[in-house]
Amino acid sequence: MKRFFVFILINVALVVSYAQERHPFINSVCDYFTTDIHDNLYLWADASLNKYDNTGKFLYQHSNPSLGDISNVDASFPSKTMVFYQSAGIIQLLDDKLAPLGNSINLFEHNLNTITLAAMIGTHKIALYDDSNHNLYIIDLYANILSTTHCSFDEDFSPCQMQSFYEETIMMLDTSQGIYTFDILGTFKSKISLPETRAFTKIGNEIIFLKESEINYYNQKHLDLKKSGIINPNLKNFRLGTDGYYLQENDGKIYKLNVKRE
């Protein structure tokens, strides 16, 4: 079983450390970013996706302006990195060098016309969320629908982020309500009330989430909430690495904050 790390966070020290470290980890501005299991970073802006290693060295680029701007990238499985172009209704899978793997998946050709979110489930399935019909679909790599779940929660339910974890749980974030969890077949499991959450990830039983200007921890098993001490009013997004945090500010720049662990 994968070992999960518990970060030792000393509030004052972290805030001071982050405040003093004002040199971007990567000298590039992006709309958004994510990471993979090897601590490689994937930064995208408009139609371009760039991949960097864990030292900040540029590795590869993928760009296809004919498909419009990139809406989301899922690098959970770097051998099949998913790139979602919402306006074109296209999902393209890339190899670890960001070269296309076969033909793209055209959602419009399969009457999936209002998909707003997409995430990989393992290497052979994809989760899609249809914001107009409030449906969560599980599809295969040929866009065949394997299951459909109608998300009849709140009238204003409108998730902005979706991720799958360990090929067993799908999570969707609604910033005004919190996180909604589903099993790998798309069946609804629970709602975790964490309103005003703007970004999140999960390690073991802990959900690490950004609320307002601070990163927090919520333990699903013990139902307790802890603060990390990482506070920045300009913080937009974050990812966890093996030795700390990658932090994106509102100006699109990425910073790295090293954190001790046990």
- pLDDT band at residue 1 using 50, 70 and 90 as cut-offs: very low
Strands 244-249 and 115-121: unpaired
Band the pLDDT of 262: cuts 50, 70, 90: very low
What's the pLDDT band for 26 if we cut at 50, 70, 90?
A: very high
Q: What pLDDT, on a 0 to 100 scale, did the predictor assign at position 20?
A: 47
Q: How far apart are the first and last CA of the chain?
A: 17
Cβ burial of 173 (10 Å; 0-12, 13-18, 19+) is buried
Supply 212's token pair.
């307002």
Distance between CA atoms of 96 and 132, rounded to whole angstroms?
Answer: 33
Would you give the DSSP letter of residue 57? Answer: -
- The predicted-structure confidence for 30-66, as pLDDT tens digits, reads as follows 999 999 999 999 999 999 999 999 999 999 999 999 9
Give the Cα-Cα-Cα angle 169, 236, 115 (nearest 5 degrees): 50
Q: Residues of 61-91 as b/e, b for ≥16 C-beta within 10 angstroms?
A: ebebeebeebbbbbbbbbebbbbbbbebbbb
Q: What predicted TM-score, i.e. pTM, was given to this entire model? A: 0.90
Per-residue pLDDT tens digits for 92-149: 999 999 999 999 999 999 999 999 999 999 999 999 999 999 999 999 999 999 999 9
8 A C-beta contact, residue 26 and residue 249: no
**CA-based nearest residue to 139, from 123, 124, 151, 126:** 126
* 241: pLDDT strictly greater than 80: yes
